[in-house]
Every structure is written in C-alpha cells, then in structure tokens.
Amino acid sequence: MKKIHIALTALTVLFMVSCKEEPKEKPKVIYDATNMEKASARYDSTQVAIADLPIQMEGTNYLIHPVGDLRVYERGTKSKYGSSSVNDLSFTISNFGEYEITGYLQNLKFQKIDSDSIRPLTDKPALILTATYLKTIADRTGHQVMVYTMIDTDTNRDGKIDTSDIKALYLSESSGQKFTKMSEDFQELIDWNLVESKNRLYFRTIKDTNKNGQFDKNDVLHYSYIDLNSKVWEVQSYQPI
C-alpha cells in the first residue's frame, strides 16, 4: 500500500507540473489608452559610452564615429584568498564589413574630413543595428545614401529601447543629414533589398492588425519601395500578392 501511495503522489505532482502555464512571450507592442502615442525611453546613465575609431565610406567626404556602450563581461575566478570576480572589458562596439557598420549602437557621429566639428545622427534615444552605404547607387546616380535598421521607440513600454522593440527603416545622406524614417510607426521592418537595375530600395513591414502585441500569421504584410533616383524620398506601395 505504501508503494501505491508513493506512486499516486508522484503522478499527482507530475500532473500539477504539467498543468502549469508556460511563460508567455513578451509582447513587442503594448498599446496605451490613446492607442498610438509614442512611448519615450531615457538613456541609461549607468552605462559608459565610448566610440570606435572613425570609418570613411569610399567616395564620401565624411568620417563616421560609431558610439555605443562599453561592454563589461564578468567571469568568476578562484584564488588562494577565496572567490572573486574579474571583469573583462570589450572596447570594440561595432563591426565594419563591405560598406556596412553593424552593432548595438547608441548613435553615429559624422565629421566632414576638412572640419573638426562632429554632429550626431540623432538627438533621441535609439539602438542602431546596421548602417549601410549604398555605394552602387552613389556610383550610378551621384546620390550618396545611407540605410539604417534601428529601433527608435520603446514599443513594449518596459522603459528601455532594445531588440524586444520594433525595428524601423531610416535613410540619410552620407553626411548624416536628411535623416528620415521610411517605415511607418508600429510596423516591424522584416527586411530590405536594393535592386540596382531600377535604383530602388524594396522593403517589407508587418502591422499588428489584431493588436495582440505580437506579429503573427494573422497580421498584414506591407510591401513598399523607395525610388533612389529621386532627391525626395517617397515610399510607394506595391502588391505582389
């Protein structure tokens, strides 16, 4: 009887554990009473901002200074005096590939090569993930354009801007001037692609149409492009489906 009692107890415990709800996925958007007001976030004053060495995109007259947080990694060590921790510092905050800067950057600062003046891309809290110089467009049209994938709004209202928030698409000139948001607010950027033969930048976004805070199969995809032949950047919709 004792064995039967133990077995029944174990089954009861397993049943209770299996009935526990799995943790819900953190929503990317939390809507307020006014529905579409932008949520503001502040810079984290506890972080130490540093800049990588400047980068010059080929054919431009500007240096770009990537700015981000100093990364501190803690690793546990053991010594004869007891346990302690040693901090590893990473002074590299960005990576530079072919005409593209990547990282988790607070800002980019631009400096004309014949000047000591340095100006920021934006004066608002942001997280810049990629900054791409469209070299082929510059060669073909003379228009020097930068493309950014970034996060500019605390859409899930947790008090900080990070990768849990919605990504957006921005353009600027190679000087950092004419910094313009091209995707709509509260639409998540999925991807973008440059079609050189047409001098167009195509991109896709998704809108949380059912307002459940997540992006899923029940939401609507938007297909758009920007004509880079034009000095005025305008978003045009198209319907491939």
According to the model, what pLDDT value does residue 97 have? Answer: 95
According to the model, what pLDDT value does residue 84 have? Answer: 43
Those residues of the chain that have pLDDT short of 70 are: 1-25, 33-46, 73-87, 213
According to the model, what pLDDT value does residue 127 have? Answer: 98
According to the model, what pLDDT value does residue 89 have? Answer: 81
According to the model, what pLDDT value does residue 23 have? Answer: 52
C-alpha 86 chain-centroid distance: 30
According to the model, what pLDDT value does residue 209 have? Answer: 75
Q: Where are the domains of the chain?
A: 25-42+58-68+94-237
According to the model, what pLDDT value does residue 82 have? Answer: 45
According to the model, what pLDDT value does residue 90 have? Answer: 82
According to the model, what pLDDT value does residue 13 have? Answer: 47
According to the model, what pLDDT value does residue 215 have? Answer: 74
According to the model, what pLDDT value does residue 104 have? Answer: 97
